[in-house]
Amino acid sequence: MRRTLRPLTRRGLLTGTLGSATLLATAGSLAGCGTKGAQQTEAGCKSDDLSATEKKIAFSNWPQYIDVDEKDESKRPTVDAFIAKTGIQVTYTEDINDNNEFFGKVQNQLAGCQPTGRDLMVLTDWMAARMIRLGWIQKLDKAKLPNVEANLLPSLRNVSFDSERQLSVPWQSGLSGLAYNAKVTGEIRTVDDLLTRPDLKGKVTALSEMRDTMGLLLQSNGHDPSNFTTAQFDDALAKLQRAVDSGQIRKFTGNDYSQDLNKGDIAACIAWSGDVIQLGFENDKIKFVVPESGVMLWSDNMMVPNKAGHKANAEELINYYYDPAVAAKLAAYVNYICPVKGAQAEMEKIDPDLAKNPLIFPDEAMLSKAKGFMALDEKQEKEFEAKFQKVIGA
């Protein structure tokens, strides 16, 4: 056999050299990768507060979470009144659709100590807990928040992730409980009804938010979701697993359960109180149930992220929304639990029916059954979330 050596051409040499160089560079850059920790401290990410000179604030919130003018949906009366009163221009953006997605959106900036362009953002308890744990949130100046000091509901003052409410203030709160469509099924009273009653098989949904679904299950087992052990969590999870395996639970949902419940594709579900009230306006067969074993109480919290340039302005806005008259106007529109004491009296003037609604202004009996979910450290969060995701299928 004759072997021929291919003559080395200039092109061949160039290609070869370039190819090897690319390969080496790729491997080298991969080796140089790895990420730095996202942990920050507030002091390490301090920025100047420009509030005095720049009368403005960028406010990120969830869609349909603020009052709008009946005639012109682009007008937000309480925001407009704030602008008129203080001269602080508010850029209100509805860019939070999902806690996890929003986290992905701001994660790189906050982990790198860079400004997000937001002065105030509203996130649910557990996400607020994560961001506080990561040191991404600025401490609020209580002296600038007299209304919050005076009017915040006592049951929301002491949360596990922010014991003295130094970093977060509730925007609105809500309950996670049960809901059913009375056109399709009879009354549901307990979590066990939901998970085992044969006539509901395949017509039940639960929430894909671990803290809501697992909190209710922990309570149905007689455990306290604000203080539980891993064994108790596993117990509750096994109960959920049985309901999934038997085909009782049709699926795990976010907000999207509400249309299915309305149509009757699902008969009963774990649901958020605000959704159920809004459904109730168009369909009086939709009922919300506070199970005997207890409900979950959560809040979406206003927070000022690191490097936000207008903290004092943000504090002024937070304080403004804790004026009972303003809070009542907001609550009349969004229908979640109003975290402001005294707003109920103001609501009497706007809409006496809403003022009597226990899902907007809960009474003591209901609040005594409501619990928050235990604050988890990073390791626990990953462990519990992985176990839960396994059961719900992803």
Contact residues toward other proteins (CB under 8 A) are 26, 29-39, 100-101, 103-104, 111, 133-134, 202-203, 244, 249-252, 256, 259-260, 263-265, 378-379, 382, 385-386, 389, 391-394
**Which of 312/392 has CB closer to other proteins?**
392
Is residue 89 within 8 Å of residue 267, measured between CB atoms? no
**Which of 290/391 has CB closer to other proteins?**
391
**Which of 251/287 has CB closer to other proteins?**
251
**Which of 12/104 has CB closer to other proteins?**
104
Nearest by Cα to 194 from 99, 261, 136 = 261
**Which of 172/253 has CB closer to other proteins?**
253
**Which of 130/329 has CB closer to other proteins?**
130
Place of tokens 């014991």: 163
Minimum distance, C-beta of residue 220 to other proteins, in the bound complex (Å): 21
Tell me the CA distances in angstroms from 168 to 44, 89, 95, 304, one per residue in order.
19, 22, 19, 8
Minimum distance, C-beta of residue 191 to other proteins, in the bound complex (Å): 19
Minimum distance, C-beta of residue 272 to other proteins, in the bound complex (Å): 18
Minimum distance, C-beta of residue 202 to other proteins, in the bound complex (Å): 7
Q: What is the DSSP code string of 233-275?
A: HHHHHHHHHHHHHTT-EEEEESTTHHHHHHHTSSSEEEEEHHH
List 15's β-bridge partners, or say none.
none
Minimum distance, C-beta of residue 5 to other proteins, in the bound complex (Å): 30
Residue 274 burial (C-beta neighbours within 10 Å; 0-12, 13-18, 19+): buried
Q: What is the DSSP code string of 316-357?
A: HHHHHHTSHHHHHHHHHHH-SB--BTTHHHHHHHH-HHHHT-
Quote the DSSP letter at residue 70: S
**Which of 234/292 has CB closer to other proteins?**
234
**Six-digit token pair at 62?**
């969830």
Minimum distance, C-beta of residue 344 to other proteins, in the bound complex (Å): 37
**Six-digit token pair at 42?**
């507030």
Minimum distance, C-beta of residue 261 to other proteins, in the bound complex (Å): 12
Quote the DSSP letter at residue 8: P
